[in-house]
Structure 1
Amino acid sequence: MAFDLANLISCLALRPAEGGRLEGENLALDYRRVFGGQLLAQTIQALRAHAGDKSLKSLVQYFPREGDVSMPITYAVDERHVGRTFATMGVELTQAGKLISAAAASLHLPEAGLENPPTPPSTGSPEDAVPVVIDMIPWEIRVVGGVDLNDGAVTGPPAFQFWMRVPAEAITDDSTWTHQALLAHSTDLTVIGTALLPIAGLSQADTGRAFHSAVTTHSLWFHQPFRLTDWVLVDQVAPVLSGGRVFGRGDVWTADGRLVASFAQESMVRLLEQPAT
């Protein structure tokens, strides 16, 4: 990983482009493929420019073609329906005129309503978890139980929980949209590694060496406002690893027990042919 948090936050600042579109730069990565978490985060920022007084409540994004980090990405937002309290929008992401990703989003004007608070998982506090560094998530991470997604010698159920917190001084635009974008970025990374936990001798670190992987679909739901400058718990499972595909889902909780977001992801995982011995 070559980029840092400042690089990621700078990538959230999209600039105007021809025809009412927006354009974004890419993270400074060590490889040529654009990271899907960046595309999720920038898509949220593109929607922000069309949201008015509404908030993002859900996003479904597809990744039919990999992006090239050497070229900027163009974002075209289609306001398909804008009502008094709800709106539906589409976003197309292109490079050199070719579609690399497409998204559908639903927005909502916040309103009062019934409440049925769910029960948060029993994981202890962030102080009970193990500090780790997770590539592509450039802020403080503490893993519950010290599970290492990069250690193929360790096996266990396909479940992974970690606390995370962004340093407050790094946030220059303290809006809900910024926190949603950073969360979206972080949810794109660990589902495949979680699915591989039951497989002895194989881990997330073997990407590109033992197998090829790519996210095909990623969905997010935002239930309540939150701040990533406060601790949040990412609680995820990946119950499906079958037919060359992985499916996983997760919930995001605040330290005081509020369920603020959920996500789901489907990915392709293909074993690479091993050389004959």
Structure 2
Amino acid sequence: MPLIDMKDLLGCLDVEQTGPDSWSARNLDLPDAYRVFGGQLLAQAIAIAVADAPGKVVKSIHVLFPREGDLALPVEFRVTRLQDGRTFSNRQLVGAQGERVIFSATLSLHALEDGLEHQGAAPECPGPMECAPADLGMIPLETRIEDGVDLDDRALGPAEFRFWLCAEEKLPDELPIHQAILAHCSDLTVIATALRAHAGYSVADSPGLLHTGPTSHTLWFHRPFRMDEWMLVDQRSPVAHGARAFGGANVYSEGGELVASFAQESLIRVRAGS
């Protein structure tokens, strides 16, 4: 069973404006957890930005995570309007708990319009019904994994991971909701994918043998999509060095359209004496 359900995630997107430039939203209800999940903050930043710039949707979000957030404390967001134009807007958001900044994001928004189109070929991958069902914990969607890869496995493997996602119920039609759900999901498996390249370690060792967490995250939205339709996440980590790992993914519709891309730099530190 996932650790959260879709109702809980959608509830976190119900952001509240508490002042001219301030917003608040509740944290996910996570049993046995102590820190705020980064994907939650990504999703909430998208919800706040589109509420503050009506008529536009997010085309990219660039995030820093300077500190871990305390799940027991509320997060207050401050918005700075960097630019507003006819078709583009830019927002800066800072999320804090008291005086401690835990999240900083710059978002670019765009009024959808027609233009030139091209894309590269989608990867070859078995369809969702040909892949093994799995439970990825923080992802409240039906999940199916190519080759049945187990991210808790400590055996050496390629730093690659492909999986399909689809909500089990019909979602609201508003595009920002689908963007926020994908943003939430994009934060979960990048570190685990990097650890596949290191025999004897897996994401199951954090916290404990390993100290891990995202330090920065960027997500680009290329075209409209729906998270209640199958999405393929084609993920890989090309490098790790100096206690930092880099990874990312392209996200495709079942029909092969490239709908989004994301990249993340993460801390992966082996604890002393281990």
How does the TM-score come out when normalised to structure 1? 0.95
Match of 1:266 in 2: 265
Match of 1:225 in 2: 224
Identity %: 43
CA distance in 2, matches of 1:54, 1:141: 30
CA distance in 2, matches of 1:237, 1:116: 23
SS of 1:157 mapped into structure 2? coil
Match of 2:191 in 1: 192
Is there any run of 5+ residues in structure 2 with no aligned partner, and where? none
Match of 2:90 in 1: 88
CA distance in 2, matches of 1:272, 1:236: 26
Q: How far 1:273 sits from its partner (Å)?
A: 2.1
CA distance in 2, matches of 1:48, 1:114: 25
1:28-67 alignment runs, 5 A limit: 28-29=29-30, 30-67=32-69
1:170-189 alignment runs, 5 A limit: 171=171, 173-189=172-188
SS of 2:120 mapped into structure 1? coil
CA contact (8 A) 2:3 2:137 kept: no
Letter in 2 for 1:17: T
CA distance in 1, matches of 2:91, 2:68: 23
State yes or no: 1:148 paired with 2:150.
yes
Q: How far 1:128 sits from its partner (Å)?
A: 1.1
When structure 1 is superposed on structure 2, of 108-117 and 137-146 the one drifting more is 108-117
Match of 1:250 in 2: 249
Q: State the Cα RMSD in Å.
A: 1.3
Q: How far 1:109 sits from its partner (Å)?
A: 1.4
State yes or no: 1:214 paired with 2:216.
no
Is there any run of 5+ residues in structure 1 with no aligned partner, and where? none
- Residue number among 69, 72, 75 corresponding to 2:71 in the alignment: 69
Letter in 2 for 1:165: C
Q: How far 1:113 sits from its partner (Å)?
A: 0.9
Match of 2:203 in 1: 204
CA distance in 2, matches of 1:45, 1:2: 22
SS of 2:27 mapped into structure 1? coil
CA distance in 2, matches of 1:263, 1:2: 23
Q: How far 1:94 sits from its partner (Å)?
A: 1.2
Match of 2:103 in 1: 101
Q: How far 1:19 sits from its partner (Å)?
A: 4.1
Q: How far 1:31 sits from its partner (Å)?
A: 1.6
CA distance in 2, matches of 1:168, 1:2: 17
Q: Deviations over 1:105-159 (max 9, x none)?
A: 111111111111321100021111110101111210000111111111x321100
Structure-2 change in CA distance of 1:3 and 1:116 (3 Å): closer
Q: How far 1:2 sits from its partner (Å)?
A: 4.3
State yes or no: 1:241 paired with 2:240.
yes
